[in-house]
Copies of this chain bind each other. A is one copy, B any other.
């Protein structure tokens, strides 16, 4: 914390009723304020001390609000928002092979990705999400869309073994993705990771290349992992080993690897992942809707695995809503373990903030409200009738409030949502018209 001798300037002083910094763990503060300057959190402390210490250009009164770190969506496919709700009531493989992949083959383009990502970013920002990890194609288009909306993104350099409109093969996808990473090196809101789609859709050669690149470039790797039981059986049949054995043989099973879904891990696999420092992302709604199963999240956490939460794409969820994922994580953990005390509210909130930041290796910059971290912040109003009365704001954030109660959102110190409305060049009506235009094209092309 700086120790100014005279009153120094801050860009804004935020004055919430409750401050939920997520570090130290479990702290819920009243009478505290947050000062921000430029893109960073400048100071956190008792309101009177901060009032004495800083001269803010703006004071933001949040008298019935909880202020918490901006939520981190640790796994999505943003552009698939244009396919929202297509192919309901199908299990994962049929959903991919019958509903999604044929449409993507016909439709995917730079324009599709840019427009779909714009709409996804609008939905996420308004719902209190300040960072998204995106696994899709045309990362340059996604980078333009996320930065246009003022949202932070971690873009996957996505690799899949069959040809797509984006790339003929894994090598082309990697080459194009790494070129985009070079071109966007100076943009602070954008970073990258390597994203092989899944063990069943990416061959040994590409996975080995990705392991090498990850080590050389110090890039994380995100991969769909054991989302269904079928994946284990197929891996045995095709490779004579489990998916984890295969990833281990190919040099990927270590820190920096982020497995997504991981519904079908054995106990010893959970222990192995913990030992290796592999992180996991839980996507509870997608796992329910596709009938993939219920992940053993409490066991992951007990083993010491870093865990984030993801919405998955809007074609399988069908909301990019982390409040929903937080609630579902808590509810599913309780009912699947048969113990109501499992995954209490504060722990569920960790999954969407500091937990996700740790899982992605971003916890030095994101995930909690501490001086020096990025000023990515979300305020939630708890004064609506349906949120009253309130005995415990943490419980309310998980079990009562929804993204509809998000009032204000800051990303890198800039307010992007105020009073529940996006502050953007891209207006709601423009985005809605864009979506409706795409719906017509998609229905025509895939009739």
Residues of A within 8 A of B (CB): 82, 84-86, 88-92, 95, 119, 122-123, 126-127, 285, 287-294, 317-321, 328, 330-332, 334-335, 337-342, 344-345, 383-386, 388-392, 395-396, 399-400, 402, 404, 428, 431-432, 435-436, 438-439, 442-443
Contacts and interface: CB of A to CB of B under 8 A. Distances in A.
Give the top 3 A-B pairs by smallest Cβ distance, nearest first.
A388-B435, A389-B439, A288-B331
A428 B334 contact: no
Given A385-B126, A436-B389, A335 B88 contact: no
Given A386-B320, A395-B318, A402 B402 contact: yes
Given A396-B85, A404-B402, A126 B331 contact: no
B318 A400 contact: yes
Nearest to A293: B335
A405 to B, nearest CB: 9
21 contacts: A84-B390, A84-B400, A85-B391, A85-B395, A88-B392, A88-B395, A119-B388, A287-B335, A288-B335, A289-B330, A289-B334, A290-B340, A293-B335, A318-B400, A319-B400, A321-B386, A384-B428, A384-B432, A388-B431, A388-B439, A402-B404
Given A88-B399, A126-B386, A390-B439, 4 more contacts: A85-B399, A92-B340, A289-B334, A317-B399
A122 B344 contact: no
Contact of A332 (B288, B330, B390, B442): B288
Copies in the complex: 2
A340 B400 contact: no
A289 B127 CA distance: 23
Nearest to A344: B89
B319 A85 contact: no
B119 A399 contact: no
B84 A389 contact: yes
Contact of A123 (B123, B383, B386, B395): B386
